[in-house]
Amino acid sequence: MKKKGFLFISCEEAQLICDKAQYNEASLWEKIKLSIRLSYCKITRAYYKNNTMLTKKIKESKVKCLDPNCKKNMKKELDKAIKEQVD
């Protein structure tokens, strides 16, 4: 079995750290290891680039979520409609 290096991480681990970094949940040590991986792995760089672009687009979007009361009312209406169909 090949022993992993101290600073070297797998692509899967790099992708996990990339996702954590997107939400500011990655530690400094994880960011350092990710930076090292980004320096030599084309696949990880592509994943990082796509993740960054996705984050930017989500922040730029003008999507507004429903407030909890509106969701509750919609659920009541849906449940009522389903019950009417079943009966």
In-domain check, residue 74: no
How confident is the model over 49-65, as pLDDT tens digits?
999 999 899 888 877 78
In-domain check, residue 2: no
Give the domain extent around 25.
11-61
Cα 51 from Cα 45, distance rounded (Å): 10
In-domain check, residue 42: yes
In-domain check, residue 80: no
In-domain check, residue 15: yes
User: How much of the chain, in percent, has pLDDT values that exceed 70?
Assistant: 93
Residue 38 has pLDDT above 80, yes or no: yes
Number of structural domains in the chain: 1
Contact 9, 33 (CB under 8 A): yes
pTM of the model: 0.63
- Residue 44, judged by CB atoms within 10 A of its CB (0-12, 13-18, 19+), counts as buried
- 3-class state of residue 56 by DSSP: helix
Residue 83 has pLDDT above 60, yes or no: yes
Q: Is 83 left (phi over 0), alpha (psi -120 to 50) or beta?
A: alpha
